[in-house]
Structure 1
């Protein structure tokens, strides 16, 4: 074992996934060190810009549904333990062009797990929520028990409870290099070298800074989001649901106006590539930052297309298939990887932390992790370099 080991696990990247792992590890009595280049929650990762949808009728088979349901349980437990408001049960409507997107397989899988879900035609969607204007050929899948999470409050609650349980957190401590030797892990930072038996790498859009220790098939992408002031009071929290909208031209997601902030909408597809360490171009740098969002509102929720109250940018970390990476390093089994959460991962962070803790403690997870294995990308995809 490497000399000077002070921790059982070092978590590199204490955003949503890393902070959740630190919380679960510390609760299990594991000596845990969390390292982050900033001071979470912060605006340099993928967890800022409140809020985030959480829904349970998921595509991709039973693994995602099981994870979503377990994640919901864990968020509720965290809410009770922290005393903070983390979840709002707004319901979520997924509306799509019937000739482009199909819901039957998702409905079947969801109902087999007891998820409450309804199918609605365009007329019924517009009757229930008059703020929508949908073409007749649209169809919808509504989850009454779904809603949204207040992402920054979630990370703050995980941080407090992790530290209270004994985890150590070092902020403004970027990692320069990682090496594995003598069965342990040495993590080099600007503030010194830290040693542990295991490491969890959860660096989000910043994974490239960990090369050449690991190279993942993940693109970091700049995304634009906006908050628009509705023209009428149809879109307020408490009466309007979270939503997704999809047709052959694009996919969008959004939230009711919370506390007068305005209806929030973002585009899930498209975006501009971003390289870790480069400046993130501000909202408005491209005409489509506001233009795409406003066009979607004008098409489907025209009375929400008022003045832009605020625009912001965030980061996605996209894998080639949009599924996550939760696996061991190809050369070092005592190093776990959690990345590529592809713009739909935040809701799962509560359970991803539990999964990573199970892998550390027991060598396996109670959930099927095969969909998240590195091997699906082929033998040369990660190009790890032994150090």
Structure 2
């Protein structure tokens, strides 16, 4: 076994949350080791697929809005620091029955936080965006300041700057064991052992099995999800003419993106069959059933969208209430974990990285994290 190397913080899982945390910790002068089972950004987790929506009038709950607004500020800071652009202000249109709880929460969160939001009826939706046709009972909530993040570009940028600030990155090294005391952690990767004072565990679909090594049994279940690109007329669905969107319908909750750089309209289903996925096994490829599920929405509301171009798979890591888990270990205050982002977490990864950094270096977060506490379940 090789000699133990000592760090201030070891981050296990260097995807969206972990890489951001590594960046903020390294920027504060912490000696950081990032360990990942793959080489991020990669296609084996939850952060690939080129794009993610970022919105602030938040249908999943008003409690998310402060975190979303801070995430926005931090993405802008990273763009300025790097000289790169990975936010596209396409606007985001949320569509559904006027009685939809999701739609009503979008409206209420905009009112509470004075966010710009236009509420459109069915005719106004079609007039503004001719590629969409909805029943008279539907309304649309258009948030003009929201848009799209280029997720893999963002992770690459956090990676580059974390390394610039002195972090080390160990790729293609699955973690085999973790031992924690009150003032140290030891992480085993095969024949190697790495020692640090504090630990971040942000391993996505592998979080549940790694947290179990620390005596925590959390309901963070990996599930298989799919998304796809379809042929689309640029005059209707191209970037600059068409927004990112979400549809809350009787047949399900869908999300999607305009055609960016001529790639085609991108569409996924947020809910649907919750097919548990062993993260250590290959995810079943995109199939005809996945295609049919997405084409159901297109036939109903976007009939001008064309044929399937290609589909991809990914994993969500779901909690029962679909809220995140961000907390400190109940026995070890030198361990912070972030998991269960339930398919709507990426937009927050800049802010979550900052929160993790603050929890480890100051012992407190700048936000109320009670919604994300692991204590909402029996964790031991």
TM-score by length of 1: 0.93
Corresponding residue for residue 230 of structure 2: 228
Corresponding residue for residue 313 of structure 2: 313
Aligned-residue RMSD, C-alpha? 1.6
Equivalences, count: 375
Distance (Å, rounded) in 1 between the aligned partners of 2:8 and 2:133: 55
User: Structure 1 residues 12-21 or 180-189, which shifts more?
Assistant: 180-189
Corresponding residue for residue 47 of structure 1: 47
Corresponding residue for residue 115 of structure 1: 115
Corresponding residue for residue 302 of structure 1: 303
* SS of residue matched to 1:316: strand
Distance (Å, rounded) in 1 between the aligned partners of 2:187 and 2:334: 13
Distance (Å, rounded) in 1 between the aligned partners of 2:357 and 2:52: 24
Corresponding residue for residue 267 of structure 2: 265
Corresponding residue for residue 275 of structure 1: 278
Distance (Å, rounded) in 2 between the aligned partners of 1:179 and 1:148: 39
1:173 and 2:176 matched: no
- 1:131-183: CA deviations, max 9, x gaps? 00101100111100000100000000000000001111110111001111362
Residue segments in structure 2 that go unaligned for 5+ positions in a row? none
Measure how far apart 1:190 and its partner are. Answer: 1.8
Residue segments in structure 1 that go unaligned for 5+ positions in a row? none
Write the mapping of 1:121-132 to structure 2, written as runs, cut at 5 A: 121-132=121-132
Contact 2:59/2:104 (CA < 8 Å) preserved in 1? no
- 1:47-77: CA deviations, max 9, x gaps? 1001100000013544310000000010011
- 1:168-217: CA deviations, max 9, x gaps? 11101110011113621000112510011110000001123413323321
User: Structure 1 residues 208-217 or 291-300, which shifts more?
Assistant: 208-217
- 1:293-326: CA deviations, max 9, x gaps? 011011110101x121110001101000000000
Corresponding residue for residue 30 of structure 1: 30
Write the mapping of 1:142-291 to structure 2, written as runs, cut at 5 A: 142-181=142-181, 183-210=183-210, 211-213=212-214, 214-231=216-233, 233-271=235-273, 272-284=275-287, 287-291=288-292
Measure how far apart 1:219 and its partner are. Answer: 1.1
- 1:5-34: CA deviations, max 9, x gaps? 611110000000000000000011111100
Contact 1:323/1:341 (CA < 8 Å) preserved in 2? yes
* SS of residue matched to 1:303: coil
* SS of residue matched to 1:21: helix
Write the mapping of 1:6-21 to structure 2, written as runs, cut at 5 A: 6-21=6-21
* SS of residue matched to 2:365: coil
Measure how far apart 1:330 and its partner are. Answer: 2.6
Say if 1:191 and 1:147 are closer, same or farther in 2 by CA, change over 3 A.
Answer: farther
